[in-house]
Amino acid sequence: MIQSILETIGNTPLITIPNTNKANEGQVLLKYERFNPGGSIKDRPAIYIIQEAERRGWLKPGGTIIESSSGNFGISLAMIGAAKGYRVIILADPKTTSANLALLKGFGAEVIVVTEQDDSGSYHKTRIALANKLAKEIEYAYRPDQCFNMLNSEAHFKSTAREILDACSGNIAAFITAVSTGGQLGGISSYMKTYAPDVRIIGVDAAGSTIFGGQAKPYRIPGIGLSWTPVNLHLSDIDSAYQITDQQAFLAARAFARHEGILMGPSSGACALVALKIAQELAPGERVVCMVSDGGERYIQTLFNEEWMTEQEFATVSDTEEIRAMARQLQPWSLCPTDEANYRPDLIQSLDVPETTLSINAEMSNRAVHR
């Protein structure tokens, strides 16, 4: 018998997409993170960071968890808070969907919607700065700090990456995932470069995000992108990066629901499109593993709402041949991501990153838990 919902985090399946992926090319395997109890991959770093904070005495019974998140990480923390009895405060923004706000509140979290944009036109910096301020003001508060805390990528190094390599018995030609805090891509790339260095590592970002350099502009893909390169990501572990447009991401996610019966959000649509592109270049028997970070229900009012799609002036239908052609036309944004590094150590001070994060990161650099 399972004693707590939290024990069901992880061990998600790898799923093929036979209606879109042809037999005469490489095989796409989707790592389907919707099967986590909070509905996304973020359950993994959330439980890992909370358990570590409990172990270190930073989070005690009666404590409050405060985090900046436009969606999935906040929902995971809200679920964990409900299961363990912590108060949870989430700093969201106007891009947070009403479905996500409802889920956060359903798990009992208090939600503050930050409306002030930062200098890049997104809300990341204003959300983080306010979360850090509140964490100082509220007694017995703990800030998991997904954006700067390197335990985020360590969670994936220790669970997600090992699961993937074990499930494929080491037979993987390429690995693809989307980037925001860099937790997934950072942790998994680091693991692959250590234990399976031949795996090609590909990061997927939103066109308009500047994680891999470029000019900042607004974009609509939720959960992806940042206006700097996150500390959780070692660009030297990344072989190439793609930037995907809103329309490409949304159309691809809709196509995988329609033609494969697989619900996924727009960030995963973007990744699966890149995975198809890579598979088209691989031989039968070679595999590309692609993270599907969450499911589609979270985007019922956007991705799966015909009126919203029309308002965005996105097309509404795409058959598998159109999706395959769209994939074929993709070109890498960067073949040497280290050249595009946009790390911002100054943010540690200007956003007032918590002491708990700084001490973890210093410890991790010293013990070199992962490279």
Ligand X SMILES: Cc1ncc(COP(=O)(O)O)c(C=O)c1O
Please, which residues have CB within 8 angstroms of residue 367's CB and are 6 or more apart in sequence?
A: none
The least distance separating ligand X from the CB of residue 55, rounded to whole angstroms, comes to 22
Q: Which of 31, 42, 125, 193 is catalytic?
A: 42
The least distance separating ligand X from the CB of residue 45, rounded to whole angstroms, comes to 7
Q: How far is CA 83 from the centre of its chain?
A: 23
Q: Measure the CA angle with vertex 247, ends 242 and 250; round to 5°.
A: 90
The least distance separating ligand X from the CB of residue 358, rounded to whole angstroms, comes to 20
- Tokens in use for 209? 């995000």
Nearer to ligand X, 58 or 73 (CB): 73
The least distance separating ligand X from the CB of residue 237, rounded to whole angstroms, comes to 14
Instruction: List residues near ligand X by CB under 6 A.
Output: 71-73, 178-185, 223-224, 265, 267, 293-294
Nearer to ligand X, 17 or 63 (CB): 17
CA distance 239 to 244: 17
CA count, 13 A, side-chain hemisphere, 368 = 2
> Which of the 8 DSSP states describes residue 236?
G
Please spell the DSSP secondary structure of 253-278, one letter per residue: HHHHHHHH-----HHHHHHHHHHHHH
> Which of the 8 DSSP states describes residue 214?
S
Nearer to ligand X, 270 or 279 (CB): 270
The least distance separating ligand X from the CB of residue 31, rounded to whole angstroms, comes to 12
Position with the least CB separation from ligand X: 223
End-to-end distance of the chain based on CA atoms, in angstroms? 38
The least distance separating ligand X from the CB of residue 90, rounded to whole angstroms, comes to 13
* Residue 141 φ/ψ, nearest 5 degrees: -95, 150
Has 105 been annotated as catalytic? Answer: no
Please, which residues have CB within 8 angstroms of residue 53's CB and are 6 or more apart in sequence?
A: 59, 142, 144, 356
The least distance separating ligand X from the CB of residue 223, rounded to whole angstroms, comes to 3
Alpha-helical regions (H) of the chain: 43-55, 72-84, 98-106, 124-137, 151-158, 160-167, 183-195, 246-260, 266-281, 306-311, 320-328, 346-350, 355-367
- 237: helix, strand or coil: helix
CB 213 within 8 A of CB 252: no
Nearer to ligand X, 53 or 224 (CB): 224
CA distance 67 to 127: 9
Nearer to ligand X, 180 or 320 (CB): 180
Nearer to ligand X, 10 or 71 (CB): 71
Nearer to ligand X, 73 or 86 (CB): 73
> Pick from 206, 174, 198, 169: which is nearest to 275 by CA?
174
Catalytic sites, residue numbers: 42
